[in-house]
Amino acid sequence: MGSLSQYTDIYRDHREALDGHSDPVINAMRAEAYEALKGKELPDRHTEGYEKTSIEEMMAPDFGLNINRVNIPVDVAASFHCGVPNMSTLLGIVVNDSFHPVGTMLSRLPDGVIYGSLAKAAAEHPELVGRYYGKVASLDSATTALNTMLVQDGVFIYVPKSVALEKPLQLVNIFSSPTPLMAIRRVLIVMEEGASAQLLVCDHTQDCAQKYLSSQIVEIALNANSRLDYYDLEESGEGTARCSSIYARQESGSSLLINGMTLSCGNTRNDYAIEIAGDGCDTLLAGMAIASGHQHIDNNSSVNHRGSHCHSRQLFKYVLDDDASGAFEGGIVVNEGAVMTEAYQSDRNLLASTGAKMHTKPQLLIYCDDVKCSHGATTGQLDQEALFYMRSRGIGEKMARTMLMQAFMSEVIDTVRMEGLRERLHMLVEKRFHGQQSFCGDCASGCASVKKQ
């Protein structure tokens, strides 16, 4: 069983403590998750030699778990001043795996909207949370079952029928601990019929000299004609490992945008599983990754079409330098009965050095007629003719390389629909390619060890 056994041992030895510091709705799924893990192993590196993330290796070190919910002191106001979008948001902060509302956030929420602790919401609204918790994510995944077995709290976002949030929500995840720590993070988002919202999630490491591991599961339930924009921005330290899975289920007429942006990291794996269950849905899954040094970024996607007259698009781009490595495996499945489906997938990658490595594997499975689908992947180097032309016009080589890489990423950034965020991202990407500290501009929790591309 490898490293998985140490976590199942924790469950057996500390079941009472896990349950005692959580809520019955969350506790109810622990035994089922434990049973689901029997006979399973954590995903290991592919044998073909590609630089795929080994979750087995990622979770093998002896990380601490805050099972007894000890309050780890952190001055949130002093350690984090977020200026990512330079706009007004309803801000909540997760320190390791504990939710903290900021300022007057709770009082500014529209009537009926819930944004706060998952355990608290489960205690106050057990039927509502129980209706959705664990119903979108699949326990067939060992990493999801592990998270479900050990999670004690998380974040719950609920937008009632026909409510449109005018202000975007923002969730900031901060790692802060005097010892190596594993945070079990969980997010449940429920959009009722006709509801709409935008959410920006930012991942930060406060002390980059420390080793951290994030196990995160996000469940998104989109009811009929609802709309959600979900932006996931990672700016972690090189000692941070992240294993994140986003599950989404769309009912008829719903619209979903997910944009995952990795500007800096240690070892990151992002899994996206989108179930398009209803008719007339629209789905956009985008992502960009910038890595240098020995950083690794792995994105895996699955978009499963079951409804008819739906449209999905996937767009991922990587820029890798030094000895960085990346991987992308993307899938589209069009099931029987999903007529008039349009599904497209594109993965494009730039290798800025001879030591950088990229593995890409697009997949397309069609079991229905009357559809339009395509997929493709390219991996190459910077355009030497464009570099020569720019240098002949007096632009230095470093500046020319930066400009070309910025232009390469623009297509992904331009999918952002949140006011103010798109412009800020252009600036952050420019700073990243210049080798400057990109962590939110005003964020004191960022790490300065960013290598120039």
Q: What is the pLDDT of residues 291-328, one digit of tens each?
A: 999 999 999 999 999 999 999 999 999 999 999 999 99
Q: How far is 332 from 303, CA to CA, in rounded Å?
A: 5
362, 393 contact by CB (below 8 A): no
Give the pLDDT of residue 442: 45
Residue 107 phi, psi (nearest 5): -75, -15
Q: How far is 184 from 429, CA to CA, in rounded Å?
A: 29
Give the pLDDT of residue 87: 64
Strands 372-380 and 212-222: unpaired
Give the pLDDT of residue 45: 58
Q: What is the pLDDT of residues 340-398, one digit of tens each?
A: 999 999 999 999 999 999 999 999 999 999 999 999 999 988 767 776 667 777 777 77
Nearest CA among 99, 261, 257 for reference residue 173: 99
Percent of the chain topping pLDDT 90: 65
Q: How far is 209 from 180, CA to CA, in rounded Å?
A: 10
Tokens 């690794």 correspond to 296
Q: What is the pLDDT of residues 276-295, one digit of tens each?
A: 999 999 999 999 999 999 99
138-142: Cβ within 8 A, 24+ apart:
138/247, 138/273, 139/32, 139/33, 139/36, 140/36, 141/245, 141/271, 142/4, 142/37, 142/40, 142/41, 142/42, 142/43, 142/55
Contacts of 50 (CB under 8 A, 6+ apart): 327, 357, 359
> Looking at this protein, which amino acid is placed at residue 314?
Q
Q: Which residues sit opposite 305 in a β-bridge?
A: 276, 334
How big is the chain, counted in residues?
453
N- to C-terminal Cα separation, the chain: 39
CB neighbour burial string for 325-337, b if at least 16 within 10 angstroms, e if fewer: bbbbbbbbbbeee
Residue ranges in the chain whose pLDDT is less than 50? 1, 47, 49, 81, 83, 85, 438-439, 441-442, 444, 448-453
Give the pLDDT of residue 449: 46
